[in-house]
Structures are given as structure tokens and as C-alpha cells.
Amino acid sequence: MAPPPVKAAVTRGERPPGRRHRYRFRRWIDQAGLYVSVLILVSPSILFFLWMISLSLKTELDNTAYPPVLIPHPPTLDNFIQVFAKNDFLTYTINSVIVSFSATGLALLFGVPAGYGIAKTNATKAAVLILIARVTPGLSYLIPLFLLFQWLGMLGTLYPLVITHLVITVPIVVWIMIGYFEGLPVALEESALVDGATIWQAFRYVAVPLARPGIVVATILSFIFSWNNFIFGVVLAGRTTRTLPVAVYNVLTFEQISWGPLAAAALVVTAPVLLLTLFMQKEIVAGLTAGGVKA
Amino acid sequence: MAGGLLALRRRKHTYVRRYWMFAVPAALLVAAVIVFPWLFTLFMSVHDWKVSGNTYYVGLTNYVHLMHDDRFLWAVVRTLYFTTAAVVLPVGIGLWAAVCFARRFPLRGAARTVFILPMMATPVAIALVWTMMFHPQLGVLNYILTSVGLPPSSWVYSSDTVIPTLVMVETWQWTPLVMLIVLGGISSLPVDPYEAAEIDGASGWQMFRFITVPLIWPFIVVAAVMRIIDALKAFDTIFVITNGGPGTSSETINMLLYQTAFGYYDLGYASAMVVVFFVLIMVLSLVLLGTRQQELTL
Amino acid sequence: MIRRRSLLAASTVLLAAPAIVRRAGAQAAFNWQQFKGQTITVSLTKSPRADNLQAHEKEFEALTGINVLSEQMPEQQQRPKMVMELASGRPSFDVTHFSLHVSKRVVGVGHWLEDMRPYLADPKLTSPEYDWADMSAGALRAATQPDGRIDSLPVESDVWLVYYNKQIFADGGVSFPKTFDEMLATARKLTDPAKGVYGFVARGVKNANVPVWTSLLLGQDQETVTPDGKTLLTDTPAAIWAGEMYKSLLRETAPPGVVGFNWNECQTSFMQGKVGMWLDGVGFAPPLLDPKVSKIADHVGFGVMPAGPRAHNCPVFTDAIGIPARSKVKGPAYLYCQWATSKQMALNLVNMGGGASPRQSTYKDPTLMKNNPFGQEWLATLLTSLTIARAGLPEIVPVTEFRDVFGIALTNMIGGADPATELRKATATFRPVLESSLKT
């Protein structure tokens, strides 16, 4: 007679009756501990971004004041105006958008089928190849590629950036898609094949729609990491083909303490991906946690 | 289920080669963008290849020189020091965070979103803000320290504190990634062992140590491997905040590599460094992946 | 045109009146519009010099009808990019602005820039008002390669001096030091960490800090390499003395964190009114006197570099401008270079405080003498400094690596390392690099 009530109680998250007082106290400590933990874990992130926003809205006078001022008085949008007026930030934003969208689009085109193929054939060796792409230090292929693009005269265009960004985006897409495709039930595809579809059609009309959440995640993450990339831009970008991370670095290296414009520039550069994260956090979390399972 | 799968496998055998074709375009692309430059790097590494002078074949001289180059060897030491710290801390904190976020509590979604923001933010932009916060006289971090009675820190301006400071920034930024990977593991855990343990009277800590950890160990290893690879290659943050300084106190292999190639224009030597660096990364990754395989078979 | 000019030249010889010469020259009307309609791309290093050029760019475009696409990039990016692009033979620019003390030899060895001598000698391309002979000897020497080629035109000569805060000096009851030893004593006297006041600040970050050390070294009448550029003089007793001085100044009398300071952090510290003296280049003066950003705009003093035990010198670093040999629009590019280094532009540069002019005539200009925006003390210091200026960095190919290796040694000294040991170690490390560069 004892087991069923105990089991039911446990699955409900409670202790069996009879130990309620001690249990409730322990539970309260437990919950308090959880809340404190979460607070500690989350505060570095909150405080940092708050400070970043504060820096960007303060005047130079406020920014060089000591003790530091948190709430600007008065707040000013001058820093943001200066960022766009003094630098060609609009051009750089467009560059970043073009490069990231292209690199992501191409990565999906190549990576989704690749993920499918690798998942189906259980090819760990191919996965290792993708891992090697991740492992290689960027500079190892940057130097020769720089020389190659110089020689081809392509350095004034965005093509070199898109091509090199593929090295980042394709592995991400493949890695995530392997996870998603492996988790798909085979029954639907099997029935399609039995009905006479080619594997390509089974892929395209059955597997892909089913794996759409995975594709969404892969797109988001691939875009974010391409957007954030710095080192390729620093080496390969020309005057008009610079991406935002490179541009914001240029803002630093010669200004004397102009923290306001610098923080504003930093905010402008990272705002798109932060907003993307805020709106798509559920998908991102789902994608990264599911992908982790299969690695 | 198993019998059906077996029959399926046999029928699919003919399809295996066809499925491989799906991966060919991607593989070709990766090969073109990486393999060709890699071969060229190997080629450059056996030459004395400076940008301004003539190039001539020198065999393994660059490699021999590397092995005796104090600056490079110290860079290796620093890289290992930085990497170890930048892996252990995020994995430890990430594990703790994953356990917390696996539980249900109000505003969990919002908290989780805020928690993963550092990982998504543009590293260069973040590094610039950190630089401003580290300023010894006007930075906000020293203000916080002094207002709670602690002495101000030199942060990135002293060779003693620079690497721990950079590790702090790395940890702040990448712990969310560890958390997410481990969280994936925790959320797929079965309930049975916990029930049984609870009936037997195990405490929360005991359940964690003897049930949770062994079961999610593969995920921890995956997170650790990813962290090792990323920490070994860390560039953006260090480049922007310290550029290897003060002096060479935060000069990792990757930083020295960049300086050798783009500061000293010594492409041959830099290429040799790249090759050695890559071997180092591969060895470390494979060693750790090996332990994962072992754990799984246990 | 030539015939007319020689006629006019003959008549001016008869009359020997400078005013008429000038009018005559104008009548001969050098054709600034000869490359009208073409476009050039100009790569500038982010600096006050570049600010000056960009500020007056529209005037050039109006004068010549040439379209200019110019851009300033921070030196950390612009320098390697310039070298890489020139080396590959496909530079993306037609005019490049660079620092001779960093890139002169590497550019010269590869013959990557056009030899300017034919252009200077060609009356069709060089306006008679240009007056190449007006360039100071130091600037000429800097721009000339060892084999005699002149592949760039000097834009600016940055002399180094010591800025000082008159308020802090008055409060501390000290006067501007005349020797380095006095400077150290003064700095020590003014340093009061409890009040947050420090006597001295200079660059501590590696690579950028080497000119500070060479400034001190010049006081011992020694440079860092022998004149032939073949032997290092960086572990001599004089060099070690300079290292000790550097270490004492930055360790005892500079703000905490100085080990990570480049010129912009130093400038900020100085502008906050917390530092007594700042040793750096004269080109950084303008923001110091701007009340909008500087807290000490009213009490900035300019002092000549103090003397050392054996000599009284100050380093000078020259920026120049050149044309890639592979450029397709060398004519228009040359007109730009000419304009950028002309008398008027040099005058503009000095008037906006962006550095010292490489031309002698600039310092004879009456308006500059009377009302320059930075005061008489600034001008007097600048003129004196120009007379005692010497090269501040060795003219070798691997100069960046030199600055890194010795810069690291200097940074270590700030952290407490022994100067003699560090300098000897750095010399031993760098010697093979220098020797291998001499082979090519």
C-alpha cells in the first residue's frame, strides 16, 4: 500500500505526508537558494549592459566624472548622432547586413543537405572534418587568402568577406542540423520512399519541413556569429567594405577619452544581435540545447 | 523497434552512398576555403618569406627556431594558463547555472534571456566597454571596489593581474554557452533514478553528485572541448583590450601570430607558428574527446 | 611657356625684386588643372596631419578639378595594410601617407614608391612656387633613402618636448627643469598619490614607448644604432642610464596604469589636470588648449626637452606622403602630394597645431610669428626644438620589431625589472633580426 502514494507524491514534487514541517522549511531554503543563485548569475550581465547604455547616453563631462555617474543628467543622444555623422556607419551597417545574410544563406544552402547526409549515414568522420574547420586558427587561412584575393584584385569587394565567413557559418549550420535530423522519426521519410519518392524528394518535402525549427535556429546562430566576426574583417576589409565590428574598433584607436561616442558605437554594432536574441531566445535555447545532445 | 530498424538499415544500405552526396557540396566548399590555404601555409612555413624581401627555401629552420624562441615558448605557457582558467571557470559556473535554470521559477524565461546576452553580443564591442570599465582612475570597476572598501585593482594594467582579468571577461562572455549545452543534457534526464534515490533517502547534493553528474558527463565534456578550442584561439577580446600587453604579459600564441604576420611581415615564421599551434589544438581536443568515449563505454 | 618664363626670369634677375618674381611666376601660371577630371584615392594615417589635409581637401579639388577620395585609418591598421598592398603590387590607393620612422626602409628596399626626383625637376609638373629647397635639412635627410632616391615628400616634422601644467608647478613651487636629472627631481617633488597628483607621465605601452627612451638617450649624445645602421648600441652604459631614468620616472612619478598608456591615455591624464609633466610629440597640443575638452586649457606650458649629461637634443619624427609605383594616375597623385607639402599647407598645419612644418619658410611667416593660436611659448619651444632635433628611431627595415622588442623591455622595467638585464636580453634577441635584415 505504501509505494503508490509515495510515487505519486514524488512525481508531484512533494515529499510523502508525515514529514511536512521539516520538508517545507527545507523547501523554503532551497527556493531561496535558487533565487539568490539566479540573481548572482544574472547580475553581471544586467549590470554590464546597463552601464553600456549609461555610457552612451552621457555627455563627455559626465563620462569623465569621478565618482562615476549612472543616470545621465541630462541624457543626450549626441553620441549616437556623432557616431553616424563622423563615420560611415550606414555603409558599414549595410556591409555587415549583406555579408551576414549572404554567408548565412549560402551556409543554409550547403549546410542543411550536408547535415542531412551526415545524419543519415552516421558519418562521424565527416563531423570531425567540420570540427577541424572550427579548430583551425583563423589566421592560418587568412594570410594565404589575403594574398590570393589581393592577386585577384577582389579586395575592394565584399566577396572575400562572404567567402571567409562561410567557414564560420557552414559548420554551425551542419552541426545543428545533424542534431535535428537525427532526432526526426524516420517513419514519415520511409513511407515517402516506399511511395516511390527519390531520397532528394524525401529530403525536400518531408525532412526539411519537419526540421524547420532547426533551420530557424541555425539561421539565427549563423547570422549572429557572422555578424560578430572581427578578425576576417580586420585583415580583408577595404575602405568601403568594412563591417561594423572593424569600424567600431577604428573608433577606439585614436580618440582620446571619448567614451560616449565609443559606447554609442559599440551599442549600435551589437544592438541588432542583442535584439535578435531577445526576440528569438526560445528558439536559440532550444537549438543549442538540442544540438548539444547530439554532438 | 530494433528488428524494424535492422530491416530498414539493410534496405537503406544502397542509399548510403547517395546520402553522402548531400554532404559533398559543403565538404568541397570547406575544403576549398580551408585546405588550399592550409597547404599554402605549410608551403610558406618552410621558406624564409618576408613581405619586403626575397623568399627562399629553408627547410625546417623556422620550426627549429620556434623551439628555441623564448617569446614563443612563453606564449605557449601563457596560452595554456589562460585556457585552463578560461575552461574550468565557465564549466564550473555553467554547470551551476544549468542546474539552476533546469528548475522552474517565475520569470525563468526572462532570466535565461538576460543570462545568454553576453554570449550573443559582439565581442569587439563588449571588449571596448570592458576597456573603459578597467580604467584605473576613471573606470567604474575600481569605483565599485573602493566603495566597498577593497583596494583598487590594476586590472589589465599590470602583468600580474592581466590574465586573470581577461579570464574574467572570457568567463562572463562564454559561460552561457556551457550552460545551454549542459542544460540540454539535464532536460533529457530520466526521472526514475531520482525517484528511487529519493525513496532511499538521498539528499539533494547526493543525488546531484551520484546521479546527475555521471549522466550529464558527456555534455560537460562537449562543453569543455568547445571551450578549450575557443579559449585557445581567443583573439578579439585580447586584441582589443590589451593587444598582448602590458609588454608581453597577455601575449598568447594567437596574438604573437598576428603580430609576426602583420607587424613584422615575417610570413614564413608566422606560418610555422600556425602549424605548431594547430597541432597543439588538435592534440588537446582529441585527448579530451578520447576521455568522453571512455566515459561512455564505462 | 618655357620661353616666356625664361624671359621673365631674365628680367627678374635684372630687377632682383622678390615681389616681381612672385607676380611673374603667377603670370607663367603653372597649370594646376592639367589632370582635371581624374580621381585619386588617398590613404591617410589617422592624425592631426590627416585632419589638416582633409579639412582643406575641397580647396585642392577646386584648384585642380581632381576628385579626391581620402580616408583616415588608425596607424595600427593603416601601416600593415599599406605594406601588404604595396608588396602585392596591387595597392588600392594612389597616394599614401605614412611615418618615415616606421616604414621608410621597408618601403625603400622594395622600391614600392615612385622616385620623386624626376617629378620635382619637371617644371610641367612642379609649380615654381613649390620651392623644394625650402625643406629643412632634417626633413630632406629623412625623406632620402640610402641609395639617394627620394620616394616621398615630407609633410610634417614632429618634434618632442615636455608639456607642463603651470598650475601644478606654481602650487609645488618648482620651475621647469633644464636637465633630465632635474626633471626627475621635480617629478618626485610633485608626486602626491594621496591627492592623486603625479609629477610625470609618458607612454608606457610597448612599441609606442621607445621614443621616450630614445629622448632620454639623446641626452647622452647617443642613438640606438651606429650611423651605418649595422651595430646595435642598445646595451651601452648610456642606454642603460636612459633605461634607469625611464624606469624611475614611470615607476615612481607616473599615474598607476601607465604601463598601458599610449599617447592618448597620457593626453587624457594630462588634460584632467592631475599630472605635472607630459613628455611627447608637439602635434598633440591642440586638444590641450581647447576649453571644451581640457580642464587645464588656461595653464598649459610648453618646455623644450631637457638636456642630458652630455648633450641637449630632442627626437624628431617625420611623416611623409608618396605615390605607389603601380598607381595608374601618378600625375594627379603627384599634384596632390605637391599641394599637401606646399608652403601654404605647411602653414595651415602649424596654425592648427598639428605638428612642426618641415619647411624653413613657415617659421619666417609674419602672421605666424605674431598671432599663432598656441601662444608665444609654444612657438619659441617649437623653434628651439627644431634646432636641436635628431633622429629618434633607427633607420632600419625591421623597425617595428625593434620597437616591440625594446618596448617590451621598457615595459618590464616599469614592472620592476632591472634595466641592464632587460636591455642586454633585448639586444641579444634583436641582433639576429637586424643582421638578417641587412642580408637582403
For C222-256, what is each residue's pLDDT tens digit?
Answer: 999 998 888 999 999 999 999 999 999 999 999 98
Taking an 8 Å cut-off on Cβ atoms, the answer to whether A153 and C90 are in contact is: yes
Q: Does C127 share its domain with C163? A: no
pLDDT at A28: 81
Taking an 8 Å cut-off on Cβ atoms, the answer to whether A256 and C268 are in contact is: yes
Nearest to B19 among A199, A224, A295 (CB): A199
Taking an 8 Å cut-off on Cβ atoms, the answer to whether A292 and B138 are in contact is: no
> Given pLDDT bands bounded at 50, 70 and 90, which one contains residue B16?
low
**Other Cβ atoms within 10 Å of C106 Cβ, number:** 26
**Other Cβ atoms within 10 Å of C69 Cβ, number:** 14
Taking an 8 Å cut-off on Cβ atoms, the answer to whether B117 and A277 are in contact is: yes
Contact in structure between A231 and A142 (CB atoms under 8 Å): yes
Q: Does A183 share its domain with A274? A: yes
Query: pTM for this one?
Result: 0.83
Does residue A256 sit within a domain? yes
Amino acid type, A241: T
Q: Does C77 share its domain with C183? A: no
> Given pLDDT bands bounded at 50, 70 and 90, which one contains residue B80?
very high
pLDDT at A19 over 60: no
Instruction: List the 295-334 stretch of C: residues with Cβ below 8 A of B.
Output: none
Q: Does C126 share its domain with C55? A: yes
Residues 6+ positions from C294 with CB-CB distance below 8 Å? C271, C287, C288, C300
Taking an 8 Å cut-off on Cβ atoms, the answer to whether B259 and C404 are in contact is: yes
Dist. CA C254–CA C188, nearest whole Å: 9
Taking an 8 Å cut-off on Cβ atoms, the answer to whether C255 and B53 are in contact is: no
Does residue C19 sit within a domain? no
Mean pLDDT of A40-64: 87
For A252, the closest chain B residue by CA position comes to B128
Taking an 8 Å cut-off on Cβ atoms, the answer to whether A238 and C92 are in contact is: yes
**B contacts of C106 (beta carbons < 8 Å):** 51-52, 265
**C contacts of A255 (beta carbons < 8 Å):** 264
**A contacts of B20 (beta carbons < 8 Å):** 117, 121, 123
Residue bearing the bigger pLDDT, A124 or B287: B287
Q: Does A16 share its domain with A110? A: no
Does residue C11 sit within a domain? no
CATH of domain B62-297: 1.10.3720.10
Residue bearing the bigger pLDDT, A131 or B132: B132
- Kindly report the CATH number assigned to the domain that includes residue C111: 3.40.190.10
**C contacts of B259 (beta carbons < 8 Å):** 404
pLDDT at A44: 93
3-class secondary structure for B32-93?
HHHHHHHHHHHHHHCEEEECCCCEEECCCHHHHHHHHCHHHHHHHHHHHHHHHHHHHHHHHH
Contact in structure between B90 and B179 (CB atoms under 8 Å): no
Q: With an 8 Å Cβ cutoff, is A18 touching chain B?
A: no
Interface test with A, best of C44, C96, C264 (most A CBs within 10 A): C264
Q: Does A89 share its domain with A27? A: no
Dist. CA A144–CA A139, nearest whole Å: 9
| Number of structural domains chain A divides into | 2
Q: Does C372 share its domain with C414? A: no
Taking an 8 Å cut-off on Cβ atoms, the answer to whether B136 and C257 are in contact is: yes
**C contacts of A63 (beta carbons < 8 Å):** none
Taking an 8 Å cut-off on Cβ atoms, the answer to whether A256 and C74 are in contact is: no
pLDDT at A189: 78
pLDDT at A293 over 50: no
> Given pLDDT bands bounded at 50, 70 and 90, which one contains residue A41?
very high
Q: With an 8 Å Cβ cutoff, is C398 touching chain B?
A: yes
Phi, psi of B263 (to 5 degrees): -105, -45
CA-based nearest distance A26→chain B, Å? 11
Neighbours of chain A (3+ CB pairs under 8 A): B, C
Distances (CA, A) of B100 to A13, A30, A221, C27: 16, 11, 24, 85
Contact in structure between B265 and B50 (CB atoms under 8 Å): yes
Q: Does C241 share its domain with C285? A: yes
Q: With an 8 Å Cβ cutoff, is B205 touching chain A?
A: no
**B contacts of C411 (beta carbons < 8 Å):** 245-247
* pLDDT < 50 positions in chain C: 1-27
- Kindly report the CATH number assigned to the domain that includes residue A197: 1.10.3720.10
Q: Does A32 share its domain with A143? A: no
pLDDT at A23 over 90: no
Compute the C-alpha angle A241/A246/A251, nearest 5°. 115
Does residue C3 sit within a domain? no
Most confident of B24-38, B180-194, C72-86, C90-104: C90-104
ipTM of model over 0.85: no
Contact in structure between A137 and A232 (CB atoms under 8 Å): no
Q: Where are the domains of chain B?
A: 62-297
Residue bearing the bigger pLDDT, B231 or A13: B231
pLDDT at A252: 66
**A contacts of B182 (beta carbons < 8 Å):** 292
Does residue A268 sit within a domain? yes
pLDDT at B11: 55
Dist. CA A109–CA A111, nearest whole Å: 6
Nearest one of C282, A72, B236 to A63, comparing CA atoms: A72
> Given pLDDT bands bounded at 50, 70 and 90, which one contains residue A16?
low
What is the extent of the structural domain holding A35?
1-40
Taking an 8 Å cut-off on Cβ atoms, the answer to whether C257 and B265 are in contact is: no
pLDDT at A13: 52
Mean pLDDT of A54-78: 79
What is the extent of the structural domain holding C218?
159-316+390-439
**Other Cβ atoms within 10 Å of B26 Cβ, number:** 28
Positive or negative: CA dihedral C370, C375, C381, C387: negative
For C288-310, what is each residue's pLDDT tens digit?
Answer: 888 877 888 889 999 999 999 99
Q: Does C198 share its domain with C251? A: yes
Q: Bridge partners of C199? A: none
Phi, psi of C18 (to 5 degrees): -55, -40
Dist. CA C240–CA C424, nearest whole Å: 9
Domain end point (choices C332, C357, C380): C380
Contact in structure between B257 and B274 (CB atoms under 8 Å): yes
Average pLDDT in chain B: 85
Mean pLDDT of B242-246: 85
| Number of structural domains chain C divides into | 2
Stretch among A59-63, B143-147, C124-128, C141-145 having the lowest mean pLDDT: A59-63
Q: Does A34 share its domain with A99? A: no
pLDDT at C2: 43
Nearest to C260 among B52, B53, B245 (CB): B245
Taking an 8 Å cut-off on Cβ atoms, the answer to whether B245 and C84 are in contact is: no
Cis bond upstream, residue A5 (ω within 30): no
Nearest to C408 among B242, B247, B265 (CB): B247
Q: Does C140 share its domain with C242? A: no
Q: Does A140 share its domain with A281? A: yes
pLDDT at B191 over 90: no
**B contacts of A291 (beta carbons < 8 Å):** 184
Nearest one of C74, B119, C93 to A247, comparing CA atoms: C74
b/e string for A16-25 if b means 16 or more Cβ within 10 A? beeeeeeeee
pLDDT at B13 over 60: no
**Other Cβ atoms within 10 Å of A191 Cβ, number:** 12
Q: With an 8 Å Cβ cutoff, is C80 touching chain B?
A: yes
CA-based nearest distance A250→chain C, Å? 6
Most confident of A194-203, B186-195, B218-227: B218-227
For A147-181, what is each residue's pLDDT tens digit?
Answer: 888 778 787 789 999 998 988 888 888 888 887 88
> Given pLDDT bands bounded at 50, 70 and 90, which one contains residue A18?
low
Residue bearing the bigger pLDDT, A235 or C25: A235
pLDDT at A3: 43
Dist. CA A219–CA A284, nearest whole Å: 10
